[in-house]
Structure 1
Amino acid sequence: MVTSTSIFPLLGALSVASTLWTTTTAFPAGQSRSLFSEVNGTHIRAASTSSGSTSSSSSSYALTSSSDPVPLSADLRQLITTKTTKFNGAAYCSSPFKGQWRCGPLCDAVPDFQLTAWGGDGGVHQRYFVGWNPSSKEIIATRQGADFTHFATIPYALDFTYARLHPDIAQAFSRIPSLNTSTPSNSSTQNILTGALAALASIFSPSKGNTSTADLIAHARVNAGFQSAWSQSYPALRTAVEAQLAAHPDARGIFVSGHSLGAALSVLDGVALRGAVKGKVIPVQVSVTGQPRVGNAVFAGLVDALGRDGSQKFAYHRVSHHHDPFVHLFPTVVGYEHSMNEIWLPDTNSSSTSNAFFCSGRENQRCAASVPTNSYSLLDHAGPYLGTIIAPLSCTDS
């Protein structure tokens, strides 16, 4: 049997190796590491021109952000401490997958939560639960992290290869308006996408003056293992969420969360649910911890654009803890990239009152990306996240 103890060193080694590969690989002059890289505000990587130089504008261009992080807002801190960490932690307990909300302090922290659906076996079908949170009038959809006692989980977690977007994910992104690279705009969504559109226009269709959202979707890629794991259980999760929407027409939002592998699947859940929900556009919020990179830079940019388009009512953030190596998987050298909105916890023993920072842009060099590979700690993957350990040891199921 493959255990979490035996697989963690392998994952740690892969994380270190991928980061070393990223930092030591040279790129030919004029060749970009990714097609789609927006960072702080108007700081986006310029599209390469045919001569290999970069286009100029009043904005500065960069692949990564080096802006100073700012203290986390009280609202986000409360959300993470009272919802994200508690649901993510409870997903490692056994009682929710027996139809019971009795897992000790994690469940007690959300006493009125009504568990309505659960599924998965931890192997081929990754575990999840869905329910109704009366106090916030939200539908909750939470994913468990990887259970490496199931051999079937290993290919999901260790697959470096890419896959095209699943139709349900592509559908959500198709709602983003097509953008014309030759037409300046003050729209925040336009600012996010312009660099990618120009890059795609010059690389894939040089004669075109614009590139549609469909072109972006066609060149977006996600981790094949993550999407394979997600596709096994998403239909059932979606059905459970839709049942709660029907039961609670007064619902104010859908809250999607997960940790580790579960965080990666939750990103896909959130995007797909945004495209699946019919009728009124109910807010979808994705709040994850210990998330590895999910897709290439085009995918990361589409997630950012979905969040910046106010009409879509989509929000996303990810929490990185101290020296957790998992947030550095998979390698940027082959195009993987995080979306924006990192929240970094720089303290090893992070408590509810510890430092917490919001990091602008992508791959912010003053946040988790500042951690040297030789100081990665596997123990940091479980937290504590503002006082909560997200692991089975926090469970006291009754």
Structure 2
Amino acid sequence: MARIILTLVFSTLFYLTTAIPSPELVDRASITTLSSDTVDSYKPYAFYSSTAYCSPESIMNWDCGENCNANPHFRPNKTGGDGIRAPFWYMGYDSILNTIIISHHGAAPGEMQKSLHLESNGSNRLSSLNIAGSNFTTLFKPLFDGAPDDIRVHANISTTQLFTASDIFLEWEYAAADERPTITFVDHSSGAALSLLDAVYFALQFPYITDLSPPWTKVKFVGYGLPRVGNQAFADFVDEHITVVDDGKGFVRINNMKDPVPINPSRALGYVHPSGEIHIQASGEWDTCPGQDNPDSQCIRGAVQNDANGNKPDNYCPYDGVMMGC
């Protein structure tokens, strides 16, 4: 019945052109380097991720300082969450990119361990998610109807996402108005983990690959310092239904230098990243890393082989000069 209602409500939406840039690449073996123009084209998304750390009031008034000033054309539509069980989130319309931006508040400096149930081994080190905090769970079927039964996701992240998922879905159409935009989830760190589950939820409502009818709209994701969220089946589903959009550019996760957050939870616990990594090098180059969890030394998994090799401040900046926070 829910699917029938959604079909009646949203059947006026159509398949649209991309808002996320398709990179111009400079070839270098299997790892490729983004041009400076393409790197700059991701900057609006970095500011949107950073904006999620601002107060709901300042976001609705769009007077949150540098973050808001960087995207002056943005039209905020809704904020939500209570900042306790349900992290704050906001939504609105970018008229230049023709996309609805949806973003969750991530973990501010010093909050990452608490929000993702991480253990600390020192001021500059993170351990893998502990066994109690990294238990897998199935997707909540009333929201994720149609997802493969073998998908498993992080239990704590899944529980938190359920507090806001329905509210976000019910509100997004009001941000769309008549522009028929794409939908882009843009987030940082723990907020990116929540948004990835939201993106999967939305993708199940707006399918891209169907023999019955054209899809309604595109759902995309740009995440900064994203931790692992699910198992191999989850990563495969993201690749098949989100990454595949716009010739493989629908899912992008941007990792900064020696950030240890993206290597957690450990692959030894069964966690796998989807494809779509961009790794920022100490030189400032942005390199694309093909495949899931690419082990090359120029990619995050190879550059940060364990938490002791990481540098926690790299999780927050710089992303083409943008620091996460408000």
TM-score bucket (shorter structure): 0.7 to 0.9
Q: Which residue of 2 aligns with 1:179?
A: none
- Determine the C-alpha separation between the residues in 2 that align with 1:384 and 1:313: 25
Q: Which residue of 1 aligns with 2:301?
A: 369
CA shift, 1:152, in A, is: 12
CA shift, 1:253, in A, is: 0.7
- Pairing 1:19-58 to 2, within 5 Å after superposition: none
Q: Which residue of 2 aligns with 1:346?
A: 281
CA shift, 1:121, in A, is: 2.3
- Look up the equivalent residue of 2:293 and give its one-letter code: E
- Determine the C-alpha separation between the residues in 1 that align with 2:56 and 2:108: 16
Residue 165 of structure 1: which of 126, 134, 139 is its match?
Answer: 139
- Determine the C-alpha separation between the residues in 2 that align with 1:290 and 1:230: 18
Residues 273 and 167 (structure 1), Cα distance of their counterparts in 2 relative to 1, 3 Å cut: same
- Determine the C-alpha separation between the residues in 1 that align with 2:139 and 2:314: 31
- Determine the C-alpha separation between the residues in 2 that align with 1:368 and 1:283: 28
Residue 291 of structure 1: which of 222, 226, 230 is its match?
Answer: 226
Q: Which residue of 1 aligns with 2:286?
A: 356
User: 2:250 is paired with a residue of what secondary structure?
Assistant: strand
Q: Which residue of 2 aligns with 1:251?
A: 180
Asked if residue 333 in structure 1 is aligned to residue 275 in structure 2, the reply is: no
- Determine the C-alpha separation between the residues in 2 that align with 1:252 and 1:369: 34
Residue 80 of structure 1: which of 42, 48, 68 is its match?
Answer: 42
Residue 242 of structure 1: which of 173, 191, 208 is its match?
Answer: 173
- Determine the C-alpha separation between the residues in 2 that align with 1:309 and 1:68: 19
- Look up the equivalent residue of 2:134 and give its one-letter code: F
Deviations 1:218-245, CA, capped at 9 Å, x for gaps: 1110001111111101111111212223
CA shift, 1:108, in A, is: 0.4
Q: After alignment, is 277-286 or 106-115 more displaced? A: 277-286
- Look up the equivalent residue of 2:149 and give its one-letter code: A
User: 1:357 is paired with a residue of what secondary structure?
Assistant: strand
User: 2:42 is paired with a residue of what secondary structure?
Assistant: helix
Higher-RCO chain (CA-CA 8 Å, sequence separation at least 6): 1
Residues 313 and 364 (structure 1), Cα distance of their counterparts in 2 relative to 1, 3 Å cut: closer
8 Å CA contact retained: 1:88, 1:390: yes
- Look up the equivalent residue of 1:301 and give its one-letter code: D
8 Å CA contact retained: 2:206, 2:218: no
- Look up the equivalent residue of 1:333 and give its one-letter code: A
Name the % identity.
Answer: 25
- Determine the C-alpha separation between the residues in 2 that align with 1:170 and 1:120: 21
Q: Which residue of 2 aligns with 1:203?
A: none
- Look up the equivalent residue of 1:125 and give its one-letter code: A
8 Å CA contact retained: 1:168, 1:275: no
Q: Which residue of 2 aligns with 1:202?
A: none
Q: Which residue of 2 aligns with 1:273?
A: 202
Residues 309 and 125 (structure 1), Cα distance of their counterparts in 2 relative to 1, 3 Å cut: same
Q: After alignment, is 70-79 or 112-121 more displaced? A: 70-79
- Look up the equivalent residue of 1:220 and give its one-letter code: I
- Determine the C-alpha separation between the residues in 2 that align with 1:310 and 1:138: 14
4+ aligned runs moved over 6 Å, structure 1: 148-152, 311-314
8 Å CA contact retained: 1:89, 1:106: yes
Q: In proportion to residue count, which structure has more helix? A: 1
- Determine the C-alpha separation between the residues in 1 that align with 2:321 and 2:142: 36
- Determine the C-alpha separation between the residues in 1 that align with 2:263 and 2:155: 17
- Look up the equivalent residue of 2:320 and give its one-letter code: L
User: 1:336 is paired with a residue of what secondary structure?
Assistant: coil
- Determine the C-alpha separation between the residues in 2 that align with 1:84 and 1:151: 21
Q: Which residue of 1 aligns with 2:190?
A: 261
- Considering only CA atoms, is the larger Rg found in Structure 1 or Structure 2? 1
- Determine the C-alpha separation between the residues in 1 that align with 2:53 and 2:245: 34
Residues 282 and 98 (structure 1), Cα distance of their counterparts in 2 relative to 1, 3 Å cut: closer
Task: Identify unmatched segments of 5+ residues in structure 1.
Answer: 1-66, 174-216
- Look up the equivalent residue of 1:326 and give its one-letter code: V
Q: In proportion to residue count, which structure has more strand? A: 2
- Determine the C-alpha separation between the residues in 2 that align with 1:219 and 1:75: 40
Asked if residue 229 in structure 1 is aligned to residue 181 in structure 2, the reply is: no
8 Å CA contact retained: 1:261, 1:292: yes
Deviations 1:39-94, CA, capped at 9 Å, x for gaps: xxxxxxxxxxxxxxxxxxxxxxxxxxxx742012566423321x221001111122
CA RMSD for the aligned pairs? 2.8
The alignment covers a number of residue pairs equal to 275
- Determine the C-alpha separation between the residues in 2 that align with 1:86 and 1:311: 22
- Look up the equivalent residue of 1:253 and give its one-letter code: T
